[in-house]
């Protein structure tokens, strides 16, 4: 599989997960890449510089999940709508005040709590924004480095929110002290947001309006040059924009995508998912581990286990599209909130399914909430329609969900976790997978055999 899949195909497809985390229409990172690469080409950047720019833009939101929970906590609002609206806010005081009043306290218990939240933001707004942006930018850059990308790519992500005039964050860098990739990525990002929401002319006007403030004037001029070509806009607005972006990667700088690298990318995006909530820290990694070990107990060959572990690491990637006001809610979910949670399984399948060679993996990972009794979601599959690998991921996922602390329950000891799971054998859980899990836990000394009778 790795021999036929290119790095650009994998990253561009996974970038759709970053789009939904930011509350952006699908394809935001891909379209931003199209815009930014044309700016880079107009500037005459060398192939290696263009390659660095290409991945800096596709991965610009790699750390975006890491501040989602904090946004909900500080602003008492939905993190995804907050982020979506924030990308349209300029530097003027009326715009900032309008944003604060529209996006603060929307999930408050009452008007008093909302008023207190707004006052807190007005008093501490700069400090709060500094914290959120610093967290996101540094986390994204760190994950990019883990994924073998060089410092030019990592710095493009880390300094994305710096402004030409020094008014940005996290360091208040000015002019050429801001890495070029970051300058181009920020401009491309804003252009896409305004183009999608208000059209071509509004995007151009916004770029010119912020030139010399947020944006490097030379880059704005380069964009205006690229934007004179009608074909530039037509391709940007076309259904095959992703294919067009794949064609923009400098061929002479292509990086081989072997199995080891694919494993690292799956682990990296698993970290993006787990960063969304403090209650899911390490969840994808643990599900990946237990799925691999259960697969081993069931006799799956090493290559199939490797494939299975990637699916387990990415099984919750669709949760990036669920608000933290729901994910971190300590009480019972409303019917509407539960329906929003259930959408994540379909999101996972859609995101992974964008990669042609991941078609089977997308179905296996996206079905991890299906049940043997047909009462699962998103499709309500019958037992005969649920693959063994899905049953393995489901078993590992349920074990960690019950065992680890969550907003709605404290950590459960292993024996109690298994007792709860045993009540669902044959209905939600595959008995053979459960038996394999018990064997794994015994081998890893997570379960003392004299504490509970294993059947």
Q: Which residue numbers are catalytic?
A: 319
The rounded distance, in Å, linking the Cα atoms of 455 and 451 is 13
């Amino acid at each position: 599989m790795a021999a036929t899949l290119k790095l650009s195909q994998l990253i561009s497809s996974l970038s759709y997960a970053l789009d939904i985390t930011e509350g952006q229409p699908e394809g935001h990172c891909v379209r931003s890449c199209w815009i930014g690469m044309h700016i880079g080409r107009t500037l005459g950047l060398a192939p290696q510089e263009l390659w660095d720019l290409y991945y800096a833009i596709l991965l610009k939101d790699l750390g975006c999940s890491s501040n989602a929970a904090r946004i909900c906590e500080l602003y008492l609002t939905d993190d995804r709508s907050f982020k979506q609206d924030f990308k349209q806010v300029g530097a003027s005081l009326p715009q900032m005040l309008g944003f604060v009043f529209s996006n603060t306290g929307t999930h408050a218990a009452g008007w008093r709590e909302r008023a207190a939240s707004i006052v807190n933001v007005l008093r501490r707004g700069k400090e709060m924004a500094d914290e959120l942006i610093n967290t996101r930018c540094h986390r994204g850059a760190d994950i990019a480095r883990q994924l073998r990308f060089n410092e030019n790519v990592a710095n493009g992500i880390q300094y994305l929110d710096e402004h030409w005039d020094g008014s940005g964050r996290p360091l208040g860098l000015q002019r050429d002290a801001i890495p070029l990739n970051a300058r181009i990525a920020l401009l491309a990002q804003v252009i896409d947001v305004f183009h999608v929401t208000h059209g071509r002319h509004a995007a151009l006007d916004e770029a010119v309006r912020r030139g010399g403030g947020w944006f490097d004037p030379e880059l704005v001029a380069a964009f205006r040059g690229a934007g004179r070509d009608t074909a530039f806009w037509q391709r940007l607005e076309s259904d095959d924009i992703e294919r067009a972006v794949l064609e923009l990667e400098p061929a002479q700088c292509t990086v081989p995508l072997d199995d080891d690298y694919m494993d690292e990318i799956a682990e990296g995006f698993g970290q993006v998912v787990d960063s969304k909530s403090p209650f899911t820290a390490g969840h994808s990694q643990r599900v990946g581990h237990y799925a691999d070990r259960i697969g081993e107990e069931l006799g799956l060959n090493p290559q199939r286990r490797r494939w299975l572990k990637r699916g387990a690491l990415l099984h919750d990637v669709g949760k990036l599209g669920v608000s933290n006001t729901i994910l971190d809610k300590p009480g019972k979910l409303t019917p509407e909130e539960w329906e929003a949670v259930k959408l994540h399984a379909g999101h996972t399948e859609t995101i992974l399914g964008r990669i042609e060679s991941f078609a089977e993996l997308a179905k296996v990972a996206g079905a991890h909430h299906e049940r043997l009794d047909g009462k699962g979601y998103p499709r309500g599959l019958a037992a005969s329609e649920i693959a063994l690998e899905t049953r393995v991921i489901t078993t590992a996922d349920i074990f960690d969900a019950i065992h680890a602390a969550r907003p709605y329950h404290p950590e459960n000891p292993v024996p109690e976790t298994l007792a709860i799971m045993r009540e669902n054998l044959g209905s939600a859980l595959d008995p053979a997978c459960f038996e394999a899990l018990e064997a794994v836990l015994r081998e890893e000394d997570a379960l003392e055999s004299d504490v509970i009778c294993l059947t």
